[in-house]
Structure 1
Amino acid sequence: MSKFKIFSQGIIDVSPLMIPVVPFGLIFGVLAIDIGFTPLETMGMSLIVFGGASQIVLLQLFSGGASSLVIISSVGAVNSRHLLYGAVVSEHLSDLKLIWKIIISYFLIDQAFAISNEYLKRNENKNRYFHLFGAGATCWIIWQSTTFLGIVLGAAIPEKLGLSFAVPLTFLALLVNDFRKFINVIVIIISGFVSTLGYNYIPFKAYIIIAALTGLISAIILTKIIKK
């Protein structure tokens, strides 16, 4: 299969996951302007960070008056999942040139990983990495364009549209397959409970870090117990 066909397949496969990303990007653009970021700063964050979850977390913590240390550590904790993504797909990309590895790593976000990881497992074509490139590039275009629209529209978007539902909906779509495994469900419940409880009781707005670490530790313990 040619590079173009594989690239196109990546676009097609990831497209359904782009539906909730549209209001997600709009929300980010609107929120960033509302709390005082300039249009240039807002677009710069989307271009450089290119991580919807971490960008929303940054805005929430910034608007809540969290310290720089908490904001940086929280964003780092949220983005740490990309290290796992890279480790998983690295076995399929080991033969690539360094420049392509850098390009692919930039586009390796949640939706692209969720779709392309399965494709990489099933196909041995030497150009299969173009699937991840196509999926990631599609996510990039949608995210940047909707962020820009959010900046332009700003307060013109009526609150009654209820666009805030898009943030959890986006990640819920990625978790659907994980609900099929008992360990994953338990870890999701534990980390969600800690995050919800910690929102009011954990100081310095550090509930995201604590919830993530709790989920990770729970996964390790449960995995070892089941293997026994």
Structure 2
Amino acid sequence: MTQPHPSRRTELWHGARDSLPMLVGAAPFGVIFGTLAAPSGLSVFGALGMSLFVFAGSSQFIALTLLASGAGLAVIVLTTLVVNLRHALYSATLLPYVAGLGQRWRIPLAFWLTDETFAVVQHRYGQADDAPHKHWYHLGSSLAMYCNWLFWTLAGVLLGRSVEGLDKLGLEFAMAATFTGIVVPMLRNVPMVAAALAAATVALLARNLDYKLGLMLAALAGVVVGVCLESRKTVADGEGAPRKAAEDMGNRYEPL
């Protein structure tokens, strides 16, 4: 006897529940962002508005850094665009599962798509069952992450306003520590490590460029190096598979 499919409410709750570890992990970053907003020149409503309408942790930290250094709007927009290009890959991966949904679903789910939500929902979408309400699971994870980020941003803003002389505490170091904590665990193969090293090298060499253009060039260098090495790896794996299959076939018929 087949089990009944989970209801919409059940899927919604399970999506939020399974995102709990991600909520805990995102909390300190939200607090740090809200805390650093005022010393960087961003108003309370500006900080909350950025979390409300941008909702992209890494981009928000980068924008905050560029804003504090006096970078122009074009540089901020282009830099955050490059950083967020990875979301195009996330979207392409999830497209087969949401292609049948209307725009009233696809638009908000696209806006709420983050690294954490992608990690949670792609596992659910990939499960071998024909449950018709998996997009409600997606919605549950998205709403949980969104509300969590807004809450901790507000907590950080209030903390920043309540602690006198916060801009003198050296909290700008928290940004570097934050990005180190995000990036290092993701360096799992040669293309990723090479991309990080290329970006770091370009950032160091171009650190004196006006309008913080070095940061944008570093991001572009990392993307180019990573994509090129990943493409070469894919081609090599594709060429190696037939060769290995042929060798296995030959070994199978060797005389004893």
Which interval holds the TM-score relative to the shorter structure? 0.7 to 0.9
Identity %: 27
1:80 matched to which residue of 2? 85
2:192 matched to which residue of 1? 184
Q: Does the alignment pair 1:57 with 2:65?
A: no
Output the CA distance in 2 between the equivalents of 1:161 and 1:19.
21
Output the CA distance in 1 between the equivalents of 2:69 and 2:24.
29
> Gaps (5+ residues) in structure 2?
1-5, 237-256
* Structure (1/2) with the larger helix percentage: 1
1:215 matched to which residue of 2? 222
Note the C-alpha offset of 1:93: 0.4
Give TM-score scaled by structure 2 length.
Answer: 0.75
Highest Rg: 1 or 2?
2
Match of 1:224 among 203, 211, 231: 231
User: In the TM superposition, what whole-angstrom CA distance separates every residue of 1:159-201 from its partner, at most 9, and x where no partner exists?
Assistant: 49999276226624xx74x544443333334334434x24634
Output the CA distance in 2 between the equivalents of 1:103 and 1:25.
21
Counterpart amino acid of residue 147 in structure 1: T
Moved more, 104-113 or 146-155: 146-155
Counterpart amino acid of residue 135 in structure 2: Y
User: 3-state SS of the aligned residue for 1:24?
Assistant: helix
Q: Does the alignment pair 1:13 with 2:18?
A: yes
Change (3 A) 1:9 1:218: same
User: In the TM superposition, what whole-angstrom CA distance separates every residue of 1:100-137 from its partner, at most 9, and x where no partner exists?
Assistant: 11121121112111222232223443222222212211
Moved more, 103-112 or 11-20: 11-20
Output the CA distance in 2 between the equivalents of 1:104 and 1:52.
17
1:2 and 1:127 in contact (8 A); partners too: yes
2:75 and 2:216 in contact (8 A); partners too: no
C-alpha RMSD over aligned residues: 2.7
Match of 1:142 among 129, 148, 153: 148
Output the CA distance in 2 between the equivalents of 1:223 and 1:205.
28
Output the CA distance in 2 between the equivalents of 1:20 and 1:162.
20
Aligned length: 224
Q: Does the alignment pair 1:24 with 2:29?
A: yes
Note the C-alpha offset of 1:99: 0.2
Change (3 A) 1:131 1:189: farther
1:27 and 1:163 in contact (8 A); partners too: no
1:164 matched to which residue of 2? 174
Query: Relative contact order (alpha carbons < 8 A, sep ≥ 6): 1 or 2 greater?
Result: 1
Note the C-alpha offset of 1:19: 2.3
Note the C-alpha offset of 1:94: 0.5
Give TM-score scaled by structure 1 length.
Answer: 0.83
Q: Does the alignment pair 1:93 with 2:103?
A: no
1:108 and 1:132 in contact (8 A); partners too: no
